[in-house]
């Protein structure tokens, strides 16, 4: 929900509460006040996603602004769900994917090269590693920045943003098998870091 100032017949300005659906419709109609409301409503949400990929708020602010440029440019392509109760969740998922791709593009530009694939699935067999059972979400997010860049990116994209391995391989220009191995290694490293944190807290 967001507030929009509207003028009454008497000329008084009053606040009208707009739903996410109304804000999206306003943005599709190129309503600048609705664009401003969308920016204010989802800025924090997108910043939270972006900061999982970059380590400083300055780059984060720049990337969030880039995200909104893409959101407003492509808002017509957003397909709302049949159930209006799912609209907010669906829209957040849509803009989250824009944020992830924007962050990946930025990181690839900074490195000026594709991610180096130094893994072989034959040499490093993929085993199923589950960390959800004994690591809380907040614990994971705090430890993500301690992972190597590629491990962190794959973990973010797969476990948090919900991309499939074939999508990740295209985004990062690595084989799909390497995406799976990076994910397994990321989970193992997170588990080790978490256990190390627990040990340190008792010393």
Task: Say how far apart CA 83 and CA 120 lie, in whole Å.
Answer: 44
Residue 155 lies in a domain: yes
What tens digit of pLDDT does each residue of 149-187 get?
A: 888 889 988 888 888 999 998 888 889 999 999 999 988
CATH number at residue 8: 1.10.1740.10
Task: Say how far apart CA 184 and CA 98 lie, in whole Å.
Answer: 25
Which of 62, 96, 111 finishes a domain?
A: 111
Q: At what angle do helices 87-111 and 32-50 cross, to 10 degrees?
A: 60
Do residues 72 and 152 both lie within one domain? no
Total tally of structural domains belonging to the chain: 2
Do residues 13 and 99 both lie within one domain? yes
Residue 129 has pLDDT above 60, yes or no: no
Residue 49 has pLDDT above 60, yes or no: yes
* Predicted pLDDT at 143: 77
> Cα–chain-centroid distance for residue 71?
13
Say whether 4 sits in a helix, a strand or coil. strand
Do residues 89 and 145 both lie within one domain? no
Average pLDDT over residues 134-156: 75
Average pLDDT over residues 72-82: 93
Do residues 182 and 94 both lie within one domain? no
Number of continuous H segments (helices) and E segments (strands) in the chain: 8, 2
- Owning domain of residue 84: 2-111
Whether the pTM exceeds 0.75: the reply is: no
Do residues 99 and 143 both lie within one domain? no
Do residues 27 and 62 both lie within one domain? yes
User: Higher-confidence residue: 29 or 11?
Assistant: 29
Do residues 83 and 171 both lie within one domain? no
Do residues 101 and 142 both lie within one domain? no
């Amino acid at each position: 929900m967001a507030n929009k100032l509207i003028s009454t017949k008497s000329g008084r300005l009053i606040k009208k509460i707009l739903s996410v659906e109304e804000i999206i419709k306003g943005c599709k109609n190129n309503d600048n006040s609705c664009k401003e409301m969308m920016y204010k409503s989802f800025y924090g949400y997108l910043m939270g996603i972006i900061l999982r990929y970059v380590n400083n708020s300055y780059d984060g602010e720049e990337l969030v602004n880039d995200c909104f440029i893409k959101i407003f440019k492509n808002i017509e392509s957003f397909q709302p769900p049949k159930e209006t109760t799912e609209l907010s969740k669906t829209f957040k998922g849509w803009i989250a994917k824009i944020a992830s791709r924007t962050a990946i593009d930025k990181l690839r530009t900074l490195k000026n090269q594709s991610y180096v694939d130094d893994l072989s699935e034959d040499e490093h067999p993929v085993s199923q590693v589950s960390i959800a059972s004994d690591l809380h979400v907040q614990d994971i997010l705090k430890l993500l920045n301690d992972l190597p860049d590629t491990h962190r990116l794959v973990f973010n994209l797969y476990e948090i943003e919900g991309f499939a391995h074939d999508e990740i391989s295209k985004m990062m220009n690595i084989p799909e098998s390497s995406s799976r191995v990076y994910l397994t290694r990321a989970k193992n490293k997170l588990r080790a870091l978490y256990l190390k944190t627990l040990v340190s807290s008792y010393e």
